[in-house]
Structure 1
Amino acid sequence: MNTQQKPKAKPSPGPAPRLGRPARRAALVVHVIASAGWLGLSLGLLALGITAATDGSPATVEASVRAMKLFADWLLLPAAFLTLLSGLLLSLGTVWGLARYRWVYTKFWLTLATTTATVFALRPGVNSAVTAVAAGGPLPDAGDVLFGPVVSLSAYVFMTVISVLKPWGPTRRGRRLRAPARRALQDASARR
């Protein structure tokens, strides 16, 4: 009787797991809604920032920056994180991959950068504007309420455009991963 056990074979490295069609569609719907919401919130923040920076009425300025704070504190971060997470799920769970195509890679890094900027630049700028205006003073710097929305809106419009157009082709990693499949296809057609 042999008491030695054979070592279990390691699974062969196959293709990355993919989302099934229903899960992919659900993730895509969530991603599009969250992204569109984030873009819309940025447009609303820009309108409020322009109003705060150009209106001479202290009551209007205060109402504008308080509304900006409400959007920034309660709506912007959930939309940003939901966009980031659903986009990451889509990229890792579909054939697009995270680092296979330049447009996906660019969108990921821009989404990460704009989420970070929302936390560390936009929200603190809006909070300092609210503090100054609530104390009865004027808007300290129009840049606090304009710069963040302009930058984020520009980034979201750019990301929307590249999502639709899918420019630039595969990354170096993407070309390397496609090479074995292309060779197998060529071998199969050569055998015919």
Structure 2
Amino acid sequence: MGRWTAGKRLRQVMVFVHVAVSVGWLGAGAANVVLAMTAGYTGEPGVREVAYRLIERIDDFVVIPAAFLTLVGGIVLGAVTKWGLTRFWWVLVKLVLTVAVIVYSTFGLGVWVEQSITAAAAGVESPVAGQLAYGAALNIVAFLAMTWLSVAKPWGRTPWSRPPVVARRPRLSEV
């Protein structure tokens, strides 16, 4: 007995939700780039503090949930569609990039946001303002790369994929 795969309608709904959540993650990331650039280049301490606090809110309520929903949705899609998680290079690279962006955002950007909020509350410029702004922009590059991978589906199968099982017709002599 073969493995279960999603039917066409269920697959369409799952892909739609995955794409919608991923676009939300991209949009929130873009908003964070604008806010980080605004905070990093303004001379107004009040604007700086508000911008950093807005980044924190967007992270808490949009970026973090969207990141994990995208990851889980991608894993589920891989499990119930012909693409799998390790059958095709484009899927595997998207999975690795998604995890990398989540880890980088948590241990890099998240720390820099907290440092920037602390600095802004003290009335000084953030020592990591540039890292935060350009690091957030780097996430956008990763999101765009993942989007391209989804459309182009480059590089073919990985060495870990099994060739598809093709049903063969019985020969006349076998009937």
Identity %: 37
Letter of the 1:71 partner, please give it. Answer: I
Structure 2 length normalisation: TM-score? 0.90
Cα offset, 1:23, TM superposition = 2.4
Distance across 2 between alignment mates of 1:105 and 1:50: 32
Structure 2 counterpart of 1:27: 14
Matched positions, count: 172
1:50 paired residue among 37, 52, 75: 37
1:82 deviates by 0.5
- Aligned mates of 1:53, 1:177 — CA distance in 2: 52
| Corresponding letter in the other structure for 1:82 | L
- Structure 1 ranges of 4+ moved more than 4 A: none
Cα displacement (A) at 1:26: 2.0
Alpha-carbon distance between aligned partners in 2 of 1:83 and 1:38, rounded to the nearest angstrom: 8
Distance 2:110 2:70 in 1: 18
Is the counterpart of residue 119 in structure 1 residue 106 in structure 2?
yes
Distance 1:153 1:16 in 2: 35
Q: Which residue of 2 aligns with 1:173?
A: 160
Aligned to 2:28: 41
Calculate the aligned-residue CA RMSD, in Å.
1.7
Deviation at 1:21, TM superposition (A): 2.7
Question: In the alignment, what sits opposite 2:139?
Answer: 152
**Aligned partners of 1:88, 1:167: CA distance in 2, in Å?**
19
Separation in 1 of the partners of 2:113 and 2:131?
A: 6
Q: 2:54 aligns with which of 33, 55, 67?
A: 67
Alpha-carbon separation, structure 2, partners of 1:132 and 1:104? 40
What amino acid sits opposite 2:157 in the alignment?
P
| Mean Cα deviation higher: 139-148 or 47-56 | 139-148
1:101 counterpart (80, 88, 95):
88
Paired letter, 2:144: V
Name the CA distance, whole Å, in 2 between partners of 1:172 and 1:15.
Answer: 21
Contact 1:99 1:171 in 2 (8 A): yes
For the residues of structure 2 that align with 1:52 and 1:112, how far apart are their CA atoms? 27
Task: Give the SS at the match of 1:75.
Answer: helix
Task: Report the TM-score, using the length of structure 1 for normalisation.
Answer: 0.83
> Equivalents in 2 of 1:95, 1:62: separation in Å?
48
Q: Does the CA-based 8 Å contact 1:91-1:97 persist in structure 2?
A: yes
Deviation at 1:98, TM superposition (A): 0.8
